[in-house]
Structure 1
């Protein structure tokens, strides 16, 4: 394989890089081998195990960096969907991603892979309904209606409350002020250390299953939130990875928590700010039941921007076919 370059290549992968509210998404649109699996969950599992080297190739150094995030476009499984998507962080995969969804839809429109302004993405978490918003013909933002979100039980960590809430991924929500921190850049190192400690401890303390699918849910992200105008968060996930955006699934999880505690009504706009001061706009479209658990149908609006269109290549003699991470190797 030479990809038309004259080079002897093992991989020639077409990509689009975007950022959504500052958070990157590297989107693989072509050139990868087919991702096997009869469902999007099966495909995600394959990428967690056999296909893990592909994640390293796409996201890790020398082609990426420690905080790179990714998405792989696949054919959909569900007949009512347009595209399949699997999301990648720096240490594995996620069932759903809000900033990634906004980036993927923006990229698909930019590349001309679809002319539809209403799309359905098939994700491991379920179907995500997306709407493109335009200004003067250009994509100005994307609104997506996520899978149902719901609030679960609390855990007591060293005398502090962790609120477990699901927004496509399972979060531990933490009031930053309650543990003497602020959701800002000045406390970033402490937030990362504390977030990793909380996630490890919480997953040892609880065994949680999705109320309708029965799928085992692990706490994949820790969301430190802070009250303000608007509220702000810092989300820690992956291997000490920090979300630059307000986190779409985290915003959904937070809205489910606020609604369950009587602090956010239906159809009321909820603005959520990131560590950079960028915002997503959330709204609860309706209430629903997720099995026997009360939940909400959340909607998120945000904007993504294309930063690069190109290809990643792997030559036959490259000593780093699956990438590397100095951060992980030095711990």
Structure 2
């Protein structure tokens, strides 16, 4: 029986969005619609919504509201006094602590939407991610952000020459690298891939099998950040071409579990690749690597210099890219809609009516 008008409590909610893309990957920036999240740091806020409001992530990454190829970036109050805004990253795999492409999109959206006032020319911006502070340099002109360079999380090689038996594919060798999340890095040529657009379904199938098989033998603990969840990513490494004395180029692709090959080569994937090259002496301080995705988009990573993470030899780097605005919109969520699972959604949404 249909409800009669006025017989039920008003259960409409609205969510404000700015959709951006960087390298072809869509990041949906949530500017309003979520209420206060308990916790001091952005990491604590992330863990709260992960445990008590994951329906929000599922809603906006699933039909009819979105799709799993998107990412979400929820703008929150920062805790660190140096940060001008905070952001929580949500993807099909869960809650990454840091992401290069999401940081590029969030920074551009924050400036172009006026959440942080834009300055003409070069502007420094500090964002608080769950992993800590993201130091960003934006280049702005006439109200638009034309490029964003973000300093990455220190990346380090956690394990070398690991082998896992992958059903239907046999034994696969990989290296494990942390660059804001754990990545298993595989030689694309060894697996028969040239990293082209027509190979994306086959790479997704291989990536799914590889991550599923490798998860039981890959740590879920970061030595400083604690629990980070099961292995989320695999990165396909193509051959490296030398461009000049300071730069290199390589076709690259990132798999996100479950089932997604990114349209961009991803910032954290690029950082992980550089960390492995740095460990092997193949790239040095001040040199850069351009990674090119299966669809032809690219990011440029630049090595800043060495660091350490809990005794591991690590590398600092930056990622440079550009974000484009796709849409500014408002989503209406009717909590009585049978397609909306409100069980772990309603409590994190603003109670303000639509």
The answer to whether the Cα contact below 8 Å between 1:8 and 1:316 also exists between their aligned partners in 2 is: no
Matched residue SS, 1:219: coil
Matched residue SS, 2:52: coil
The answer to whether the Cα contact below 8 Å between 1:143 and 1:301 also exists between their aligned partners in 2 is: yes
Match of residue 24 from structure 1: 26
Match of residue 156 from structure 1: 163
Moved more, 130-139 or 249-258: 130-139
Match of residue 50 from structure 1: 52
Matched residue SS, 2:95: strand
Match of residue 83 from structure 1: 85
Structure 1 position 133 matched with structure 2 position 133: no
The answer to whether the Cα contact below 8 Å between 1:92 and 1:238 also exists between their aligned partners in 2 is: no
Matched residue SS, 1:92: coil
Deviation at 1:209, TM superposition (A): 3.1
**Residue 231 to residue 189, structure 1, CA distance change in 2 (3 Å):** same
Match of 1:309 among 328, 332, 340: 328
Match of residue 299 from structure 1: 318
Deviation at 1:137, TM superposition (A): 5.5
The answer to whether the Cα contact below 8 Å between 1:20 and 1:102 also exists between their aligned partners in 2 is: yes
**Residue 217 to residue 316, structure 1, CA distance change in 2 (3 Å):** closer
Match of 2:188 among 176, 179, 184: 176
Give the number of the structure whose alpha-carbon radius of gyration is greater.
2
Q: In 1, Cα distance between the equivalents of 2:68 and 2:51?
A: 20
Structure 1 position 189 matched with structure 2 position 195: no
Match of 2:217 among 193, 205, 213: 205
The answer to whether the Cα contact below 8 Å between 1:256 and 1:296 also exists between their aligned partners in 2 is: yes
**Residue 85 to residue 316, structure 1, CA distance change in 2 (3 Å):** closer
Match of 2:40 among 38, 46, 49: 38
1:192-247 residue CA offsets vs partner (Å, 9 max, x unmatched)? 11111211222201325323334456321011121154201121113212211110
Q: Report the TM-score, using the length of structure 2 for normalisation.
A: 0.84
Question: Which runs of 5 or more structure 1 residues have no equivalent in the other structure?
Answer: 1-6, 324-331
Q: In 1, Cα distance between the equivalents of 2:257 and 2:37?
A: 22
1:7-51 residue CA offsets vs partner (Å, 9 max, x unmatched)? 955321111000001100001011212222233222222232221
**Residue 216 to residue 19, structure 1, CA distance change in 2 (3 Å):** closer
Structure 1 position 271 matched with structure 2 position 298: no
Q: CA RMSD in A?
A: 1.9
Q: In 2, Cα distance between the equivalents of 1:264 and 1:46?
A: 39
**Residue 289 to residue 316, structure 1, CA distance change in 2 (3 Å):** closer
